Amino acid sequence: MDRMPALFVGHGSPMNAIEDNRWSRGFKALPRLFPRPKAVLCVSAHWFVAGTFATAESAPRTIHDFGGFPDELYEVQYAAPGDLALAARAGHLTGATGDTGWGLDHGAWSVLLHMFPQADVPVVQLSIDGRLPPAEHLKIGEKLKPLRDEGVLIIGSGNLTHNLRHAFTAHHRGDDSTPGWAAQFDAEARQAAERHDLAALAALSLTPHGRLAHPTPDHWYPALYAAGASDAGESVRFPIEGFDMGSLSMRAIVFG
């Protein structure tokens, strides 16, 4: 069986699910970079809770976890099947508890509906335990690494920079220029990923510009799961790059 990569995707606005733009086209192109997976394990910024859980459902529901968007977006249903065996396997590897109350949030489905539009690849979501420090998320990602040899595509879905207050305020003023702190964080994350310097990567959000890039760490931690599942010396590619609304990094990273 072909070894799957570990992938981080900047998912950005929920509107990317229904718009034809540079980001949605980038999501569509991602499957050209690797073999078709047997299943997907997705770590989304939007399941940020106290504990590590895996969706143990045969038919996970589509969660519309946002407000104030057009009706068309709320009508989207991504009916990918779940995978009870994969949920159990993820639990065995990480200690995650099976959960039947969640489903697929927009951090998962807004990207996956472009990558696998037929919704015919099973999907399991893994939650982020918000109580844990950055290094512990790397360790959980490392525990997931065996799944790559079992045909499972590991996806972390967040954003490399995610200060929505700044983005909305600047965009409202008509200023979509990229501030220095966002450019610096994005560049340093890229460099640490290329060097496979996971300690440096984990520490980035604790720097002064890291705190500006991530006032809360929910959209940062998914990158650590993907990086933790990577190996030193394997290829690192950046098929999507750039900023939305000035300061929101949409960078995608493919490890392997």
1 pLDDT band, cuts 50/70/90, is confident
Query: What would the pLDDT profile of 117-149 be if each residue is shown by its tens digit?
Result: 999 999 999 999 999 999 999 999 999 999 999
Residue 12 falls in which region: left (phi positive, over 0), alpha (psi -120 to 50) or beta = left
* pTM > 0.85: yes
42 pLDDT band, cuts 50/70/90, is very high
Query: Is residue 248 within 8 Å of residue 154, measured between CB atoms?
Result: no
Q: How far is 72 from 194, CA to CA, in rounded Å?
A: 39
Average pLDDT, the chain: 96
How much is the pLDDT for 164? 85
How much is the pLDDT for 253? 98
46 pLDDT band, cuts 50/70/90, is very high
Go through the chain and tell me how many residues it has.
256
Residue range 51-78: mean pLDDT, rounded: 96
How much is the pLDDT for 29? 98
**Angle at CA of residue 9, ends 4 and 97, nearest 5°:** 70
Q: How far is 142 from 125, CA to CA, in rounded Å?
A: 16
Q: Which residue's entry shows tokens 């920079």?
A: 161
Query: What would the pLDDT profile of 94-105 be if each residue is shown by its tens digit?
Result: 999 999 999 999
Query: Is residue 40 within 8 Å of residue 124, measured between CB atoms?
Result: yes
| High-pLDDT (> 90) share of the chain, % | 94
| High-pLDDT (> 70) share of the chain, % | 100
The domains found in the chain, sorted by start residue, are: 6-255 (3.40.830.10)
How much is the pLDDT for 113? 98
